[in-house]
Structure 1
Amino acid sequence: MMTQDIALASVSMRPIPLAPIMEKLSLTAENYGSVRRYFIQTLDDRMLSPDAQEKLVRQNPPHQVFKLKGSDHCPFFSKPQSLCKILLEIMQLS
C-alpha cells in the first residue's frame, strides 16, 4: 500500500455505530432467502479470523464462498484488483 493510500484511508474512515450490529434480526425465507448470497473470505484478516469467518458461513450458508489470499479485513484497500475480479465473477453468476 502506498503512503498516499494510507493517508487517504486515514482521513476517510469513520466510526461504526454498534447498535445495528448488536440488534437481533428476524429474517424470512420469502425475502432474505430469495436472494443469492456470496461470501468473500479474507484470509489475512486480523479482525475476523478465518475460523470465525468459516463459522459465519456454516451458520448461514451462502451460494458460494470466495477466498481472497493476502487480504486483510478491508479488501477494497489491501486487494482492490482481486476484490474487483471476484465481484465481476459474482455479477456473472447472478
Structure 2
Amino acid sequence: MDNTYSSRENSSDPREILHMGTEYLSKRLYQLCTQEDITLAKMLVRPVNIFLWDEAMTKQTILTEEKYGSVRREYIVCGADNSWSAEFQRSMVEKSPGTEMREIDGADHMLMLSKPKDLVHHLMNIATKYA
C-alpha cells in the first residue's frame, strides 16, 4: 500500500518506523468508519515503531500462567479487522495466559468507531464481571 518506512536516528535502537499512508488507513484500519472519522485519523496519524513478530516467537511460550497469567485480561476480537486477521487475534489470545476472549463481528481495527455500541456493551459486562 502507501506506507513508508524509516530508520530511527538513534543507532542504539535499530527499530524501523512505520509511516501509515492515507490509503492504508482508509482500507485497512478505518474501512467501516465514517468519512469524518477517516479524515480526522489522516490528520492525527503519527509514525509508530514496528514490532517484528518473528517465527521463533510463534513457536515459544514467552508468557507463563504463574507470572503474566496471574492478572485477568479480556480481549475483543474485531471480526472485520483488515490489519490483523481474526485468526491472528485469536492466536495472540491463546498465547496469553489468563486472557478471555470476546468477539464483535463486523468491527474493523478501530472498534471504538466502527461498533461503539457493541464495544460499550462488552465493556459494561467486563466491568460488572470484575466489580
Same-fold call, TM cutoff 0.5: yes
Give the partner amino acid of 2:35. Answer: T
More helix by percentage: 1
In structure 2, the residue matched to 1:66 is 102
Secondary structure of 1:64 counterpart: strand
Aligned residue runs from structure 1 range 15-34, under 5 A: 15-18=47-50, 21-22=51-52, 29-30=66-67, 32-34=68-70
In structure 2, the residue matched to 1:45 is 81
1:5 aligns with one of 31, 34, 37 = 37
Distance of 1:2 and 1:35 partners within structure 2: 36
- Is residue 41–residue 53 contact of structure 1 (8 Å, CA) maintained in 2? yes
Higher relative contact order (CA 8 A, sep 6+): 1
Give TM-score scaled by structure 2 length: 0.57
1:4 offset after TM fit, Å?
2.2
Distance verdict in 2 for CA 1:53–1:78, change over 3 Å: same
Please say which structure displays the higher CA radius of gyration.
2
1:42 offset after TM fit, Å?
0.5
Deviations 1:57-93 (A, max 9, x none): 2222444211111111110121122112211211111
Question: Can you give the 5+ residue segments of structure 1 that lack an aligned partner in the other structure?
Answer: none
More strand by percentage: 2
Q: CA RMSD in A?
A: 2.3
Distance of 1:17 and 1:64 partners within structure 2: 27
In structure 2, the residue matched to 1:55 is 91
In structure 2, the residue matched to 1:84 is 120
Give the partner amino acid of 1:50. Answer: A
1:11 offset after TM fit, Å?
1.3
Percent of paired sites with the same residue: 32
- Is residue 82–residue 108 contact of structure 2 (8 Å, CA) maintained in 1? yes
